[in-house]
Each structure stands twice: as C-alpha cells, then as structure tokens.
Amino acid sequence: AQRVTQPEKLLSVFKGAPVELKCNYSYSGSPELFWYVQYSRQRLQLLLRHISRESIKGFTADLNKGETSFHLKKPFAQEEDSAMYYCALSTSGTYKYIFGTGTRLKVLA
Amino acid sequence: DAMVIQNPRYQVTQFGKPVTLSCSQTLNHNVMYWYQQKSSQAPKLLFHYYDKDFNNEADTPDNFQSRRPNTSFCFLDIRSPGLGDAAMYLCATRKDRATPGQYFGPGTRLTVT
C-alpha cells in the first residue's frame, strides 16, 4: 500500500540553523513527490515538487529512490518559515495524492 | 484573483441532519478534489473528479456524496452526519495531467452537535 511517513510532529530550530524535515514514502512505482506548506491561518499551498528540482524560499528537496525519501532542507532557517509542512505522494497515472501527517516547524528567535 | 473558494468557512449541523459544503474555482481546472482532515491527521482523499468523471476512494463512506454540476462548482453532501464526521473539509483543484500541483481552498470546518 502507498504510504507517506513524516516521523516528526514538531521540529524546533533556532533562527539561522539548518532545517531538515523528513519524509519517507512507500510506493513500488514511479512516484511524484511534493511538499506543501500551511502558514498560520492560510490555506495549504504547494512549496516544491521533485520533478522541478527547484529551490523555493531557500528550500530544496531531493528524491532518493534508494532510501525512498524526499527530505526538505534549508541551510538557514528564518522565523517566517514557521508553519506546518506536509509531504505528499502522487502515484503514476492517477490524479490521487497521499499526504503525510505533517511536521510543524517552529523557528525560534 | 483566480482561486478556490469554499463556503461556508464554518458549518454547524446536528447529528443526522444532511449538510452540503460547497467549493468553487475560477482557475478553470479540470480536476477537483475533496479531502477530509481530522485534527493532527493527514488530509484524506474522499473523491475527485476529472471533468465529469467521478472517482470515489474505496474507503469513503457511503454517507458522503458529491456533485459537480459544472467546471466551476463541486459539492460535498453528507447525508446523515455523525459525530465522527466533524473535521476540516478541504477542496482542491488541479489543472490537468501535465500539471501535477494542487491548489487548495481555505477549508470548511464542520461541527456536528
């Protein structure tokens, strides 16, 4: 069965420290992986998708098929990065998405 | 601004009283989704439409129905809400197969009394 695991419910880091939000997935086919972010009182919004290999707001994520991971990283956290982050998997040939339970990132001053 | 709109933002209904949640989009996207999200849990896909083609998730209760009368609107009907149906309901859209990202509405928080 397809599954997305985000092992940390809460991650607290100090401003300027590196951040890594973990995401592991279970899927036997070719996955499409995404990171979504939800700032306080705002809607879920797409942050990154693995096929784009882009950097958004300083965040990057690399798909590691060997480790079935798609960790989100940022070298220097900012207070405005504090939010809820969800990893999501879309299975090939479908329009369906499976979300992880999310990690709340708190960046402390 | 093109966007996904959900009404109402907060809905209170009584146990067993049918309720309808609505979603509209100005993005002209082909795909529309309904998710249920309970506290501290992942958004759970209930069903989605590609244009008028309806796709129900196998574990979506029969109590949940959906309608998409046109491209812009999609409705979630809960025929007999139970206390366990209290949750945030999220609507999302996706443009097409070639564009994999989703656009989410702000959600409707449903309370069942």
**The predicted structure's pLDDT at residue B12:** 96
Looking at residue B102, its pLDDT comes to 92
Contact (CB<8Å) A46/B97: no
Out of A4, A49, A98, the one facing B101 most closely (by C-beta) is A49
Q: Tokens 């300083």 correspond to what residue?
A: A58
Q: What is the pLDDT of residues B75-108, one digit of tens each?
A: 999 999 999 999 999 999 999 888 878 999 999 9
Instruction: For chain B, positions 27-56, list CB contacts with chain A under 8 A.
Output: 31, 33, 35, 40-45, 48, 50, 55
Amino acid letter, A25: Y
Q: What is the mean pLDDT of chain A?
A: 93
Classify residue A100 as exposed, middle or buried by CB count within 10 Å of its CB (0-12, 13-18, 19+): buried
Contact call for B100 and A99, based on CB within 8 A: no
Tens digit of each residue's pLDDT (9 = 90 or more) over B23-44: 999 999 999 999 999 988 899 9
* Spatial contact of A4 and A89, defined as CB atoms under 8 Å apart: yes
pLDDT value at residue A1 = 81
Q: What is the pLDDT of residue A95?
A: 85
Please report residues of A whose CB lies closer than 8 A to that of B104. Answer: 36, 43-45
> What is the model's pLDDT at position B2?
62
Q: Which of A50-59, A93-102, B103-112 has the lowest mean pLDDT?
A: A50-59
CA distance B16 to B13: 8
pLDDT of residue B99: 84
Which residues on neighbouring strands pair with residue A19, listed in sequence order? A74
Q: Which amino acid is residue B70, in one-letter code?
A: N
For residues A105 and B67, give the distance between their C-alpha atoms in angstroms, rounded to a whole number.
Answer: 36
Question: How many angstroms separate the first and last alpha carbons of chain A?
Answer: 41
What's residue B98's pLDDT?
82
**Closest of B70, B56, B83, B74 to residue B20, by C-alpha:** B74
Of A96, A101, A102, the CB nearest to B48: A96
pLDDT higher than threshold 90 for residue A91: no
What one-letter code names the amino acid at B20? Answer: T
Render pLDDT for B60-71 as a digit per residue (tens, 0 to 9).
Answer: 999 999 999 999
Q: Which class for A67: exposed (0-12), middle (13-18), buried (19 or more C-beta within 10 A)?
A: exposed
pLDDT band at residue A28, thresholds of 50, 70 and 90? confident
Whole-number pLDDT of residue B112: 97
What letters, b where the CB count within 10 A reaches 16 and e where it falls short, cover B40-71?
eebbbbbbbbbeeeeeeeeebeeebbbebeeb
